[in-house]
């Protein structure tokens, strides 16, 4: 099938149109266009690279091309899709040029079963987000998009189901898609237009009426490669009928009686070349909440069902089965994965006789995580959790892979007896949600706070860090701060997945984040203990003075310690739960905002007391400067090497003060700033370099200013947008031009001016 320009049907207006290809892919560097914000100066060309962690998040599906060796695709729940490039031994991100956040949640991916160059994917983050089906004729380098009227859930419950999108191997312009809420859809023109299959028995349960809920819908669509016109669809909605077959390309449908009881839902399936379909079942759509499961096989020739569940009777433990695979060379070799089995943990089962007997791979497997050592949480990396995706290489029965909630594992010993060695298969994959980050004036160039993984100290941006933040181990790090004159002193706050942190949500380090010491706050007898205080929920940010001697914590009754938590002092004049900023040069001074009075507060006595300033030049209403939620960046920033210099974001405008908050001036115009950070100033400039996630001239992106905010230049381009899922930005105080960008799904990006251009 030759590459061709695809006509795209715009469902909103009911017409066909031709859309431009969307360029994607993370190149080592790029040249931006020659226009700037408001036509002021040429854009500075920047090179962008990932700060290495290696995997880190949930990738629900890994799919091998059936027609070309070493061609593999991976879909993630909020970081887009990837393709394995065997020549460079790297996963290539396929959607870094995407500007629509919702399209970074991949619902399904389908390599063409005839033409190796063609691949399709269904994208949509949740029921409220935009949804589309994409087609590429060059392996995901460029995409053409069809907006669709049915919602998806790439980052919702049920994202491990599938694959929902399937291409007919006998007529590969024909595609079917099983939606979550609106039944079955099909395309006869290679995904350009879509129509609902009205003859399909299940019409869908309709759009969810309750926020943050979803339906499982049609869990998979599967063509029989040996029988033209025959395909199967599974349903993961409640009801008495879950499996359906068509023998005439989807014109008519029949229910397939048999199989397990109706409370078990088919979630994934695969057909071997012997005509036998292996189906995994769960009692919920997962990945959480699954308590029971089964594995059944259906012989498509004899129409007979066989229960081949690995564990039965008294051996059954809570959890289900989701990943399923079959060897192309020998269809008697099948494999299934457990999901949500916390005791004794998830595993993969392998059978060489079609499921009559099984071998549990976990006890005889080892995992070498030396390239991504953060996986070694307890000095021994476990087999993994949320194993929703599992695949056997169709060209090499020794090569297999499975996904987890934190990484993708692969082995080259799947068909061998004895010890089976697995390694993370994550080169090039950065799929994490980053909450906060700092670049201190000394020590490691970058210290980060992640969701789920806690965060890292990066001594080398190209190497996965040795460990995550520990002591205490907090799944989320919400705030980080360092002492401007003593950058080895670092503090952090965070939370766990539980509503109340079991031990403490605060910690400090005296070696730049290499090791941590818990920080405890004693409960005040006057405080209502029936409501967890913010320091027990992870909602109390922590700040450190410039000399590293004083810690200030955002508690209900704000307090500080000068002896590392042995004793605490109540702070006078500081309202409850107010973010505090420490001057990076003057250890006596701290700053905050009094939102009731719309004034800046300052402490000149090391945080003991705060007093109001006149705040001349600031807007009368400072409410738009309030940090909303524990993960929000502090809108008030002090600058290293500039005593008393402050920058304040009152969205969408940035204000600056050079006299410790007494007087302010508006620094920006013609740009709407959403997040900002500072870095080392340009040579000879009196200002720090400013970096911002912002909107200018209708273009949202990443910008910088080297003249105090008067002129802004875009430093990303259309090929580097990462779904515009951007959470925080900071410059490097030691290296002019370098910036760090925290994303929600694509990890941390580091940007440098290209080719020495400043």
For residue 647, what are the β-bridge partners? 637, 656
Instruction: Please give the DSSP secondary-structure letter assigned to residue 534.
Output: H
Determine the number of helices (DSSP H) and then strands (DSSP E) in the chain: 1, 59
8 Å CB contact between 737 and 685: no
3-class secondary structure for 267-297? EEEEECCCCEEEEEEECCCCCCCCCCEEEEE
8 Å CB contact between 133 and 110: no
C-alpha closest to that of 667 among 710, 617, 706: 710
Contacts of residue 132, defined as CB under 8 A and 6 or more positions apart, other chains included, come to 103, 122, 123, 124, 145, 146, 147, 148
Say how far apart CA 564 and CA 651 lie, in whole Å.
35
Query: Does residue 452 have an active-site annotation?
Result: yes
8 Å CB contact between 496 and 475: yes
CA 618 to each of CA 39, 260, 653, 666, 731: distance values in angstroms, whole numbers, following the listed order: 28, 67, 10, 8, 25
Q: Tell me whether the omega of the peptide bond preceding residue 276 falls within 30 degrees of 0, making it cis.
A: no
601 CB-contact burial (10 Å; exposed 0-12 / middle 13-18 / buried 19+):
buried
Say how far apart CA 678 and CA 37 lie, in whole Å.
19
Kindly state the tokens that stand for 348: 């993969």
Which one of 36, 77, 393, 752 is the catalytic residue?
A: 77
Beta-sheet strands, E only, within 444-489: 446-450, 457-458, 476-482
H helical segments located in 397-508: none
Which one of 115, 360, 396, 452 is the catalytic residue?
A: 452
Say how far apart CA 552 and CA 607 lie, in whole Å.
7
Say how far apart CA 301 and CA 332 lie, in whole Å.
16
Task: Match 């400043």 to its residue by tokens.
Answer: 758
C-alpha closest to that of 263 among 287, 244, 245, 237: 237
8 Å CB contact between 667 and 679: no
DSSP per-residue codes, 92-143: EES-TT---GGGGSEEEEEE-SS-TT-EEEEE-SSTTS--EEEEESSTTSEE
Q: Which value, to the nearest 10 degrees, does the dihedral of the CA atoms of residues 744, 746, 747, 748 take?
A: -100
Say how far apart CA 256 and CA 576 lie, in whole Å.
62
Buried b / exposed e over 419-457, threshold 16 CB at 10 Å, is ebebbbbbbbbbbbbbbbbbbbbbbbbbbbbbbbbbbbb
Query: Does residue 556 have an active-site annotation?
Result: no
Element holding 535 (H helix, E strand): helix 534-537
Say how far apart CA 669 and CA 17 lie, in whole Å.
37
- DSSP 3-state assignment of 754? helix
Q: Phi/psi of residue 446, each to 5°?
A: -150, 130
Catalytic residues: 77, 452
């Amino acid at each position: 099938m030759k590459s061709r320009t695809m006509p795209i049907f715009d469902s909103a207006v009911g017409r066909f149109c031709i859309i431009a290809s969307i360029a994607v892919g993370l190149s080592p560097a790029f040249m931006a266009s020659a226009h700037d914000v408001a036509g002021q100066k040429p854009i500075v060309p920047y090179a962008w690279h990932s700060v290495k962690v290696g995997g880190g998040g949930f990738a629900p599906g890994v799919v091998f091309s059936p027609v070309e060796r070493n061609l593999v695709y991976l879909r993630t729940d909020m970081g887009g899709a990837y393709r394995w490039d065997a020549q460079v031994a790297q996963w290539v991100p396929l959607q870094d040029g995407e500007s629509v956040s919702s399209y970074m949640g991949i619902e399904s991916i389908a390599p063409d079963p005839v033409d190796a160059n063609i691949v399709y994917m269904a994208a949509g983050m949740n029921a409220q987000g935009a949804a589309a089906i994409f087609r590429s004729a060059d392996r995901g380098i460029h995409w053409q998009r069809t907006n669709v009227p049915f919602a998806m859930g790439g980052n919702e419950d049920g994202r491990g189901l599938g694959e929902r999108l399937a291409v007919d191997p006998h007529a590969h312009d024909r595609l079917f898609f099983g939606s979550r809420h609106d039944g079955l859809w099909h395309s006869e023109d290679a995904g350009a237009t879509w129509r609902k299959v009205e003859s399909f028995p299940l019409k869908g349960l309709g759009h969810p009426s309750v926020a943050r809920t979803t339906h499982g819908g049609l869990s998979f669509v599967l063509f029989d490669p040996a029988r033209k016109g025959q395909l199967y669809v599974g349903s993961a909605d409640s009801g008495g009928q879950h499996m359906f077959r068509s023998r005439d390309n989807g014109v008519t449908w029949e229910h397939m009686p048999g199989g397990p009881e109706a409370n078990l839902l088919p979630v994934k399936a695969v057909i071997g070349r012997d005509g036998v379909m292996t189906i995994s079942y769960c009692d919920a759509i997962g990945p959480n909440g699954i308590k029971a499961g089964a594995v059944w096989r259906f012989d498509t020739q004899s129409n007979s069902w066989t229960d081949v569940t690995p564990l039965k009777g008294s051996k059954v433990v809570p959890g289900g089965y989701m990943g399923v695979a079959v060897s192309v060379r020998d269809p008697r070799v099948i494999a299934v994965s457990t999901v949500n089995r916390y005791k004794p943990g998830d595993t993969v089962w392998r059978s060489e006789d079609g499921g009559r007997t099984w071998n549990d791979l976990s006890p005889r497997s080892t995992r070498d995580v030396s390239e991504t050592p953060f996986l070694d949480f307890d000095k021994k990396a476990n087999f993994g959790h949320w194993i929703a995706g599992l695949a056997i290489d169709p060209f090499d029965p020794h090569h297999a892979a499975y996904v987890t909630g934190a990484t993708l594992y692969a082995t080259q010993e799947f068909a061998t007896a004895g010890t089976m060695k697995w390694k993370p298969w994550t080169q090039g994959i950065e799929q994490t949600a980053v909450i906060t980050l700092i670049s201190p004036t000394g020590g490691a160039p970058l210290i980060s706070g992640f969701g789920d993984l806690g965060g890292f100290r990066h001594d080398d941006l190209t190497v996965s860090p040795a460990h995550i933040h520990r002591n205490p181990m907090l799944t989320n790090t919400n705030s980080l701060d360092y002492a401007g004159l003593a950058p080895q002193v670092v503090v952090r706050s965070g939370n766990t997945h539980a509503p109340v942190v079991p031990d403490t949500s605060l910690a400090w380090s005296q070696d730049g984040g290499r090791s941590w010491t818990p920080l405890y706050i004693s409960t005040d007898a006057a405080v209502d203990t029936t409501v967890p205080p913010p320091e027990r929920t992870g909602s109390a940010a922590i700040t450190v003075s410039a000399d590293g001697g004083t810690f200030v914590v955002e508690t209900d009754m704000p307090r500080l310690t000068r002896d590392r938590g042995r004793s605490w002092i109540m702070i006078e004049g500081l309202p409850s739960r107010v973010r505090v900023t420490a001057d990076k040069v003057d250890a006596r001074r701290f700053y905050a905002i009094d939102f009731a009075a719309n004034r800046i507060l300052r402490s000149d006595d090391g945080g003991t007391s705060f007093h109001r300033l006149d705040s001349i030049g600031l807007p009368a209403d400072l409410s738009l400067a309030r940090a909303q939620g524990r993960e929000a960046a502090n809108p008030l920033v002090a600058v290293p090497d500039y005593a008393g210099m402050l920058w304040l974001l009152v969205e969408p405008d940035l204000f600056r003060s050079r006299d410790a908050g007494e007087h302010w001036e508006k620094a920006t115009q013609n740009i709407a700033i959403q997040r900002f950070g500072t870095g080392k100033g340009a040579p000879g400039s009196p200002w720090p370099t400013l970096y911002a996630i912002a909107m200018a001239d209708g273009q949202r992106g990443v910008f910088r200013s080297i003249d105090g905010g008067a002129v802004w230049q875009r430093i990303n381009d259309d090929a580097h947008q990462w779904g515009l899922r951007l959470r925080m930005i900071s410059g490097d105080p030691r290296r002019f031009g370098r910036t760090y960008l925290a994303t929600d799904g694509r990890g941390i990006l580091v940007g440098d001016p290209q080719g020495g251009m400043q």
